[in-house]
Amino acid sequence: MDASRRQQYLDAMGITRYVMREPAATGYPRDAVESGVVAPASLPESGRPAAADISELQPDWAALKTRVASCTACELHASRTRTVFGTGDESAQLMIVGEAPGAEEDRQGEPFVGRAGQLLNAMLHAIGLAREAVYITNILKCRPPGNRNPTAEEAAKCRPFLMQQLSLVKPKVMLAVGGVAAHNLLETDEAVGRLRNRIHYYGEDCTPLLVTYHPAYLLRRPEEKAKVWQDLQKLYGILHGD
């Protein structure tokens, strides 16, 4: 992408001053050493709420989509319009994980639509990625009523679906957007401001995982966009590193 086009996308994000680092300066192996590695998040431990039973599922997109579409493992199935499975390139190098469907997502069946989705698209374009080139999903596949946060029980019951998606996509890097996604994936309650700017590792494959602010938060707090641009630069470095 040429400089003028990138500036257009940065303008769309509301960022007018920036310095693009060379990819080599943000390569993840060095950052991982310098910033301290967070241990891979573990799967649910015994004693936690029972998860959706997908033990018989083989890694297969069609079977997984069918199972999610008919899932009744938690109470959210009763109030959803439709499940919101995920969208994008099913072999993407980047997998984005958000919180849960909102009202518009529940209507359309696609994650990150509306104003927050448009801002997410602008964020991706700023590092040369089209929305269609990444895989986007949420911690929960059904909308919590009133857009409340997911409960721990709901997140635990839905987690096997996310783990299956991760094992199928096999991304080079994951991006958790917002506190709910970060807290559920990393099993911590640290603030996003402390979790970002570090490389975490997630799942059995120790997939590098970055944390940044949710686009909906940026719409309320546009002054934080410069920090997100820093996070995107780090993401770019991982995607284009060795």
CB of 141 to ligand SF4, least distance (A): 4
Show the CA angle centred on residue 29, arms to residues 28 and 35, nearest 5°: 75
For the residues of 135-194, what is the DSSP string, one character each? EEEES-SSPPGGGPPPPHHHHHHHHHHHHHHHHHH--SEEEEESHHHHHHHHT----HHH
> Contact positions toward ligand SF4, by CB under 6 A?
52, 68, 71-74, 76-77, 83, 140-142, 154, 157-158
CB of 160 to ligand SF4, least distance (A): 8
CB 98 within 8 A of CB 137: yes
Q: Where are the alpha helices (DSSP H) in the chain?
A: 3-13, 28-35, 61-69, 103-108, 114-126, 152-169, 179-186, 192-195, 215-220, 225-240
Quote the CA–CA distance of 11 and 76 in Å, as a whole number: 38
Query: DSSP character for 109?
Result: T
Quote the CA–CA distance of 59 and 64 in Å, as a whole number: 8
Per the structure block, which two tokens stand in for 206? 């120790």
